[in-house]
Amino acid sequence: MLWRSSQTLRRFSTGRVYFQNKLKLALIGQSLFGQEVYSHLCREGHQVVGVFTVPDKDGKADPLALAAEKNGTPVFKFPRWRAKGKTIKEVAEAYRSVGAELNVLPFCTQFIPMDIIESPKHGSIIYHPSILPRHRGASAINWTLIMGDKKAGFSVFWADDGLDTGPILLQRSCDVQPNDTVDALYNRFLFPEGIKAMVEAVQLVADGKAPRIPQSEEGATYEGIQKKENAEISWDQSAEDLHNWIRGHDKVPGAWTEINGQVVTFYGSSLLNSSVPPGEPLEIKGAKKPGLVTKNGLVLFGNDGKALMVRNLQFEDGKMIPASQYFAAGETSVVELTAEEVKVAETIKVIWAGILSNIPVIEDSTDFFKSGASSMDVARLVEEIRQKCGGLQLQNEDVYMATKFEDFIQKVVRKLRGDDQEEELVVDYVSKEVNEMTVKMPYQCFINGQFTDADDGKTYDTINPTDGSIICKVSYASLVDVDKAVAAAKDAFENGEWGRMNARERGRLMYRLADLLEENQEELATIEALDSGAVYTLALKTHIGMSVQTFRYFAGWCDKIQGSTIPINQARPNRNLTFTKKEPIGVCAIIIPWNYPLMMLAWKSAACLAAGNTLVLKPAQVTPLTALKFAELSVKAGFPKGVINIIPGSGGIAGQRLSEHPDIRKLGFTGSTPIGKQIMKSCAVSNLKKVSLELGGKSPLLIFNDCELDKAVRMGMGAVFFNKGENCIAAGRLFVEESIHDEFVTRVVEEIKKMKIGDPLDRSTDHGPQNHKAHLEKLLYCEAGVKEGATLVYGGRQVQRPGFFMEPTVFTDVEDHMYLAKEESFGPIMVISKFRNGDIDGVLERANNTEYGLASGVFTRDINKAMYVSEKLEAGTVFINTYNKTDVAAPFGGFKQSGFGKDLGEEALNEYLRTKTVTLEY
């Protein structure tokens, strides 16, 4: 079976549940998969009475043999079981001597005679990497991908005298991701879940509960073993079929074609969903259209006009190169090593010698794989180098691309010097000369480390609220794009570098990202002003400034996330240890609003990343541009592919899919209460994913007559008009004590008249445009307030100029039953209600008479009154003699229908972590 090349060194544990029924087992097979099945069966209490495996190769024993010999289990190494069609007598006698009750074949390349298969009391069970009866035969995983199956999986079946035709004992399946290779599919699902399934199957047999479900012939297929000679690429196919053929042969036996008279094998295929980048043409035998050697790889074309990209190429001599370097493959010069680099080379030589123990001396010409190394040795080599060479991070591909020792050392040295960095991110910008600078804005979806058009090519216009002009066309993510982004995040979490990265390194990347946000703060603030209408000076200080602070704060938390030890009450003489571990949840979805596009992104994604999760983020449809610029900076900071994904588009399509997606384990949302309710319902129905919601508000601000009036006026205005009133904690209703009410209103109106309304990029502007046209139109309900009996003291109209500007507005005489008193405006509308002098409890009752509970405030010089009021107000945040003073270290979130869960502070981390309790007895 070709999937044996995919083995990667891993350890998995099944739950240790000891059943009464145990069996004597003969394990027939090989490989790391066989070793893991053996270890888990022993751990579960079954007796492996004999291991039958292949002879040593190049002086190295198979992993299964090594584990069994270490355990003292009898090991038999037969080159074959039969000769001239008959079972070899000596082999049969050795097998029967162990007295097995069941044969377990987790992975076996040898032909086992039927008299051996039928010999034990319970017969034989076999693992097969397909959902039988589909893809019977030895290349099942390959054909799953070649045929473009949407589902993959494995079967454990009872052996019979047919080819993979015996009755089914159990089956498991998984989705095939668009760019899965044999390795990816095996490592993600077939290997770990296959081990668990084999253990489960043996226990079912032991308990007499193992089913025997006959295989249907409907849908049955058989495909032959894929060998190098029949893996040549046929070019008259669609791009998707070409992609499936190439990935179905990656890494063994490798799909190949002829280029310039030489056989070249392709690895690392992916469908190209964005525009074709520029490149140098490359003629390929049989292809109707030349390939293109680009910065990112070799672009190939199907007969449907669509394209795919291949990342790596391998030549006949075994040398592998990045496809982007095809025309420069022979130009790399040999670098001279410094004294420090010579020491590193000597350390690596010792590591090679330890792995290639059958080779007397490691020479410059020693080839890693031709000397007997397997793919599991690649993982060992990469890990040992990381441990013994100062944390040097290599990828498995580095080994495949430099298999000879001298070439490998050259690659290591170039990586140490920074000469072997990945090609620069390709970004198609929309550029604008504005604010005395050139602003460069990405506009495509950002998925798996690449900017790409939406799958169906759809776009939409993002509008500058200052004048109503179109800034640019932005990719409109489809359901396919959401699924691609989630798949990339899942792969990055489960299989990628991010999941293996230590916490301190994760923090280093976040600190670097914070630095880049700060270095680009003027450009980011300008984009924020263009896209959201934020006043530039406010955007610089708050929208961007607090985003930088947030990433720095949570970067510091990365290596300080801790569990605890717990003394449990157990009777002696048992000794017990119980402790908790804080673990990342997995793939998280984040949906953010349009009022603080970058800051809301930072509030949620920084905590999410610090906890070790990966994310798919949907910015608000009307303000996507700073999120996409953030994606570009994340690549520059060094975040691995797939960790951060940004999908612009609509809430009804992309947002809804995120809330329903089965692979997302946590969703963080900031937005309106009605949408929050819908999201919570979808999250519950889909897979009960964890949810945190920061929703609407109608925050009360209580101003008592013993306040410092100048400060109360100034901060009361900020509480309402800050960021054009588009502020989740804006004071939605001001309660002013009767004796100071009229003076307060007069002074507020005087100050409003001094405010400059205009272009947010003008440094003297106080009040910019509302975020978008639909929101402005929603705010223009002031006539309804007057009809209800409220007094419109100032404003209430759209400003007569281009763009979406609204006058700062003040209402008085607002009674508790009025629309103005109940509904969140989310705009520059001050709603003032009067309360009787000294009526503290009365005004508190009125302030709390709302289903919202996000924020609140009180102004008074009396500290006892202030503390009493703060205790009674039903809100997640209470400001005393100040307002809008949030800080990255202080948790932020609401009560009641303002949502639950916290952003910021240590508590925010818990929204993106899960707690595991571990108890052991010793």
Binding-site positions = 110-112, 164, 592-594, 618-621, 651-656, 671-672, 778, 824-826
Short-list 826, 791, 823, 829, CA closest to 808: 829
Q: Which residues fall within 8 angstroms of residue 106, CB to CB, at 6 or more apart?
A: 27, 29, 33, 34, 37, 38, 127, 194, 198
Is 128 an annotated catalytic residue?
Answer: yes
Is 249 an annotated catalytic residue?
Answer: no
Peptide bond into 133 cis (omega under 30): yes
Please identify which of the residues 40, 46, 128, 543 carries the catalytic annotation.
128
Peptide bond into 689 cis (omega under 30): no
DSSP 901: S
Alpha-carbon distance of 289 to 304, in angstroms, equals: 11
Alpha-carbon distance of 767 to 762, in angstroms, equals: 10
First to last CA, the chain: 42
Q: Is 222 buried (19+), middle (13-18) or exposed (0-12) by CB count in 10 A?
A: middle
Alpha-carbon distance of 159 to 124, in angstroms, equals: 6
Q: Which residues fall within 8 angstroms of residue 707, CB to CB, at 6 or more apart?
A: 740, 859, 860, 861, 881
Short-list 624, 668, 670, 676, CA closest to 650: 624
Place of tokens 């970004």: 427
Task: Name the E strands within 109-239.
Answer: 124-128, 151-158, 168-175
Judging by DSSP bridges, how do beta strands 47-53 and 75-77 pair with one another?
A: parallel
Please identify which of the residues 728, 767, 772, 874 carries the catalytic annotation.
728
Short-list 135, 371, 374, 395, CA closest to 252: 374
* DSSP result, 464-499: -TTT--EEEEEE---HHHHHHHHHHHHHHHHTSHHH
DSSP H helical ranges for 594-647: 597-610, 625-637
Binding residues for NADP(+): 592-594, 618-621, 651-656, 671-672, 778, 824-826
DSSP 48: E
Is 258 an annotated catalytic residue?
Answer: no
Is residue 850 helix, strand or coil? coil
Please identify which of the residues 694, 726, 737, 874 carries the catalytic annotation.
694
3-class secondary structure per residue, 398-467: HHHHCCEHHHHHHHHHHHHCCCCCCCCCCCCEEEEEECCEEEEEECCEEECCEEECCCCCCEEEEECCCC
Tokens coding 237: 């196919």
Catalytic residues: 128, 694, 728
